[in-house]
Structure 1
Amino acid sequence: MAGKRTVLTVRLRRLAALLFDLREHAELSKEEVSSKTGINVTTLYRIETAQARPQRRTLMAMLDLYGVTEQQRTDAIQLLTDALKPGMSRPYEGSLSEVYAAYINFESEALSARHYQTSYIPGLLQTEQYAIAVIDTSMPKVEASVMEHRARARMDRAAVLSKDEPLELWVVMDEAAIRRVVGGPAIMRGQLDRLLQETKRKNVILQILPFDAGAHPGMAGSFTLLDFPDPADPELVYVEGIAGDELIEGHSEIRRYGVIFDQLRAMALSPRDSATLIASAAQRLS
């Protein structure tokens, strides 16, 4: 059942990385751990890749075998406790893909996000009417309840921009995102007005990549880079696509997307000129 899925969170990923490092430091293979603890090798793999949360007795058996310090034991137990807490996606998980639900959890705890979007207004900046129109078009024949849940999830996500320590958001959008009339002129005009309001936030930078910039490295598709306040949480990339969404980790891949984003923002209009272009697009819909 959808409600029984283990959806990835920041704390679960951190716990998985810690347990992997502890096993490596103990110089034990998964097969050796399985032989000494009775924990199935497949279960160990799923725990170390954050695909499953360990039960407390399983965690204790692993920590006993690895000969950890008291501080490491305390940290691991606390991470397990925190990993059991529901992420921001919990109310909507039945209507979301596992990857998208995990992304929402990561986004809610990120320090900053660098986002490139090809065709749509980014979810964090969408109005509810625009979001419904996008979902209705991109997910034909979806049930009304699922559409409502997905739209509500997008609206609730926007809270990260106004919380006490708000997400630092840097967006580069292809000009097509503000020119394509989604949901009709009235809905699109409201969406563009919302964008102009968001540009006034100190924690939001918005740039438009104009058509006359020509070919660019973001033409392959949309993506988001997330950075986290704790050094123990490595950066990750969320990639959107028709075939499915994907969360990517690894220094080389993160660096590649970082370089692409730097190129895109260098090719895009300045935030001031971008706001002027958005205002012009909105005026044409009046």
Structure 2
Amino acid sequence: MPSWKTLRLLPLVLMSLWPTLGWGQSCSFGVSALSFGNVDTLSGAQANSTATVSYNCTGILLQRILICPNIGNGTGGATAAARQMLSGANSLNYQLFSDAARSVVWGSYAWAFPARAPAIALTLGVLGSGSGSATVYGAVLGSQATAPPGSYLSAFSGSDVEFRYQYSSGSTCNTGVGTIARPSFNVTATVPANCLVATQNIDFGPQGVLSANVDATGTVSITCTPGNAYTVALSNGLTGTGPTGRLMTLGGESVTYGLYKDTNRTQPWGDPSTPGSTVSGTGSGAAQNVTVYGRVPPQTTPSPGVYSDTIIVTVTY
């Protein structure tokens, strides 16, 4: 038969354990770096990446903790439309979101814009602890072709990262209530030097006897990142011997023609093997159109037919 002493000790043991579970709550946080890597600004497309917020909390068992991970401007600054990363005086627009569709901006109760932090609810387990994670969805906005090459950064620390937490049944993060934690993280991107090229064919049209010059033009369109120096070279074609000795062919017959940089057809446009025959420029982020001046000089007329050649355009930057 059990003694009354043993039965009376049990409540005392339970009560002595209760303080070790803790009446207050304590949370620790980590935020991984958000790196976009190389961003092709000339494509016009949005570039996406993610970061992870991790949290670990202790407190009263089975209690619900509301976490409000407020994220502000960062060192790059922000407007109502976007946050910015900086590379010197140059900026690159991006944004942080709380959803995979990148439609809900991840904000803060403490900044000047409408977006607020997402509310994260964590219910502690029977041992008075709990953990979890949330994803930060980042996007470098498209249509930023004028962003110069460089390494871009926005750092988040101090007042820009105010994670608040408290016991609460609430579901919004509109006020600055709760215990504060301030993890730090960086958002980075690299805009590499880049160029795009497009061409318009040169068509000399239908001709009879080749007894006089036949002129026509085409276009090379170059789009390079701002400040990016480039040169444009034109190959000698499939069987040509130089800028003015290119050949359009049909079977074993040919028509000699030349490509030039000027409307008077006095400056041949070739490749680096012909000194001074390439075209140079500096990128602005916008398309720069350069006219190619073609000429078929007087020559012995070959058999009727369609004569053609293929030129390789090489942009060096």
Structure showing greater radius of gyration is 2
Fold in common (TM above 0.5): no
Which category describes the TM-score, using the shorter chain as reference length?
under 0.3
Q: Higher helix share goes to which structure?
A: 1
